[in-house]
Amino acid sequence: MISCKDVAGEVLRADGPLPFRRRLSLAFHFLLCSGCRDFRRQVGSLGTVVRHLIQREQKLSDQELGQIIERVKGE
């Protein structure tokens, strides 16, 4: 099983979709580990904050922002 540290790294990474097996081990970890579930939720709300900041600074389109947020949030 992957470690909590690995999970945190994957949650924060924003370089595209993960391979299926990696997503599977992440999903399994979230099932068993409430700490990482909380962390993922926090990153989710962080994504909203980041969205507002980026929008204000760079005037990206909603679609571009959506893509960025999805990458921040992961699955």
Q: Which position among 26, 36, 68, 72 is part of the footprint of Zn ion (CB under 5 A)?
A: 36
Token pair of 69 as six digits: 């947020």
First to last CA, the chain: 18
Q: Does 26 help bind Zn ion (rule: CB under 5 A)?
A: no
Give CA–CA dist 68/24, Å, rounded: 22
Among 2, 33, 46, 50, binds Zn ion (CB under 5 A): 33
Q: Give the helix ranges, DSSP H, for 1-75.
A: 4-12, 20-32, 34-58, 62-73
Q: Which stretch binds Zn ion (CB under 5 A): 11-19, 26-34, 45-53, 62-70?
A: 26-34
What is the total count of residues that contact Zn ion (CB under 5 A)?
A: 4
Residues that bind Zn ion (CB under 5 A): 4, 33, 35-36
